Amino acid sequence: MKTSVRRGHRWSVRCLMALAAALTQAQAGGGVLNLQKAVPYKPGIEVSPAVRVECELPKKLAAYTQAAAEDDYGTVNMLESPVTNAPGRTLIMQIVGVDALAGGNFSGRKGVNIEGKLWEGGKIIGSFQATRYSSGGGGGFSRFKGTCKILARDVKTLGKDVAEWLASPSMNARLGEAR
């Protein structure tokens, strides 16, 4: 009797170990994610010319999203214009709002709003809206941050929010402060 219990126990332990290894491997980076090299502004939104030219939000949002998503995907392709039926998953985002008066933290908090759709096999499998706001923050000289530096902090956090959502995408999700 002891032998069969031990064998059953060993079998259960082996099954659990195999399952844990499979889950770890899946979480460690599997699949392909296609992203835009630069996340475009939604046509017609108001963004000051200085923010458009100097802050480089489209490139920064794409880069921060890529960096945050690399742990969950084996390959993250950065494409000029991704297509919805590409192999793997394709995330297409756009910046739909920027709240940023010039003057750094002296002119109030700054924010960025984005939307995105996740495609797989030519079908939408997830969508989100996300918002992040921040100000100069901290004490000392950090309170003298400029507008672009504050907005960069917003898009960095948005990139992390999006990567977290990519691990378990859903339809009509609200991320960041849009929750």
Which tens digits make up the pLDDT trace of 67-100?
Answer: 999 989 989 999 998 888 889 999 999 999 999 8
What is the C-alpha to C-alpha distance for residues 130 and 61, in angstroms, rounded to an integer? Answer: 12
What is the C-alpha to C-alpha distance for residues 107 and 100, in angstroms, rounded to an integer? Answer: 8
pTM attached to this predicted model: 0.77
Which tens digits make up the pLDDT trace of 43-53?
Answer: 999 999 999 99
CA-based diameter of the chain, in Å?
79
